[in-house]
Amino acid sequence: MIASSAFPVTKVERSKKNELPASNIPFGKYFTDYMLEADCENGVWKNIEIKPYQPLVLSPSLAAIHYGQSIFEGVKAYKHSDGEAYIFRPLDNFRRFNISARRMQMQPVPEEIFIEGMRQLIALDKDWIPNKPDHALYIRPFMFATDEMIGVKPSDTYKFMIILSPTGPYYAEPMRIHVEEEYTRAARGGVGFTKVAGNYATSLLPAAAARSKGYDQVLWTDEVEHKYAEEIGTMNVFFVIGDKVVTPDLSRGTILAGVTRNSAITLLRDMGVTVEEARVNLDDVAAAYKSGQLKEVFGTGTAATISEIKELQYKDTVMKFDPKTWKIAPSIKKRLDDIREGRTPDPYGWLLKV
Ligand SMILES: *Cc1c(COP(=O)(O)O)cnc(C)c1O
């Protein structure tokens, strides 16, 4: 179908890399010289090309704008001391992308375009990857419906793209989290397990309300009783209770199956720590806090890696922590960062060389 040879490249006249700040690169604000673009019409992929990063020309009747067939992924690549670039678990993001695509009645993207296209794109922009601890190249694959017609139906045409953004640390400080009891992110039978654009639009109002009360983010709860933990913003959540680690299970289809979540579970189990995937009742979490058994609470996600939580407010219980005294979250963050940034061997085959 598609030759595994190089996709066509239109070269930039001049790199804009000198516009990138030397330090404190803000998340998602700077984009590299190149982007990948591909079109799908009636199930056939075509016009696969790499070209200078530039604006798109779109019709006002574009299907994605009106009815929301729009999905994305978030992946990271790292520069190792050998000077080569390595992508962290991109095949997992590829599979999840197509899970989102199927739920949204969109065309699945072939591996050749998603993975090979990503490698060829990164190879061109390799010099943009910061070679510093906690710095990476954030990779944003996305797809949206491009039919030029108003009407609620699956689009016949789609555009798939990848853009790249060099980035520094995301949530550098430990976070204060508000447990959400009014709004719902996802319900059973819905789209919580997908990275569909609309999921993030609906999270903005609750997040703003939490921020106005001094919190950084909300911890979502189940849609029925608002007492079972789901996830935080764009992160999965972990609780260290006694000598066990507990994280919400994925069986209800309301939680994003994070690649970082899976990596953290794997690393913890290999370190000999018991990890339970289960429904996490926040009344039990608050009781564990009161009895001194709740040791650590943290989030996991590609953008943020491991984010420590220093305060968790649930109903009238305010749980406060001193992450400087923690053992579990810092040790898996170190283990994960050492693998991703190439300081220790990768026994899991998680890294794909560009
Ligand atoms: C992306 C995302 C995560 C984290 O997934 P990773 O694969 O670890 O980056 C968790 N929750 C939501 C809602 C997300 O969008």
Token pair for 208: 């703003």
User: Which amino acid makes up residue 43?
Assistant: G
Residue at 348 is within a domain: no
Distance 151 CA to ligand 1 centre (A): 31
Is 143 found in the same domain as 19? yes
Supply the residue whose CA is at minimum distance from atom 5 of ligand 1: 258
- Ligand 1 surroundings by CB, under 6 angstroms: 74, 195, 231, 234-236, 256, 258-261, 300-302
Q: Which domain holds residue 312?
A: 175-337
Distance 300 CA to ligand 1 centre (A): 8
Q: How far apart, in Å, are the Cα atoms of 132 and each of 29, 127, 167?
A: 18, 13, 10
Indicate which atom in ligand 1 lies nearest the CA of residue 231: 11
Is 96 found in the same domain as 208? no
Distance 114 CA to ligand 1 centre (A): 18
Indicate which atom in ligand 1 lies nearest the CA of residue 185: 13
- Among candidates 114, 166, 75, 110, which has minimal Cα distance to 351? 75
Distance 200 CA to ligand 1 centre (A): 11
Token pair for 285: 């979490």
Residue 199: CATH number of its domain: 3.20.10.10
pLDDT at 172: 64
Indicate which atom in ligand 1 lies nearest the CA of residue 74: 9
Residue 103: CATH number of its domain: 3.30.470.10
pLDDT at 168: 82
Pick the last residue of a domain from 135, 152, 169.
Answer: 169
Distance 106 CA to ligand 1 centre (A): 20
Distance 250 CA to ligand 1 centre (A): 13
Q: What angle do CA 347, 349, 354 make, to 5 degrees?
A: 130
Token pair for 51: 């070209």
Beta-bridge partner residues of 278 = 248
Number of domains in the chain: 2
Q: What is the mean pLDDT of each run of 10 residues along the chain (354 residues)?
A: 75 94 87 98 97 97 97 96 95 98 98 98 95 89 97 97 90 88 96 97 96 96 97 96 97 97 98 97 98 98 90 97 96 94 96 97
Q: Give pTM, 2 decimals.
A: 0.96
pLDDT at 170: 66
Distance 333 CA to ligand 1 centre (A): 16
User: Which amino acid makes up residue 104?
Assistant: M
Indicate which atom in ligand 1 lies nearest the CA of residue 257: 5
Token pair for 31: 């984009």
Residue at 59 is within a domain: yes
Q: What is the number of residues in the chain?
A: 354
Indicate which atom in ligand 1 lies nearest the CA of residue 302: 9
> Ligand 1 pocket check: which of 27, 99, 199, 302 to mutate, most ligand atoms within 8 Å of Cβ?
302
pLDDT at 147: 98
Pick the last residue of a domain from 146, 169, 192.
Answer: 169
Is 138 found in the same domain as 33? yes
Residue at 351 is within a domain: no
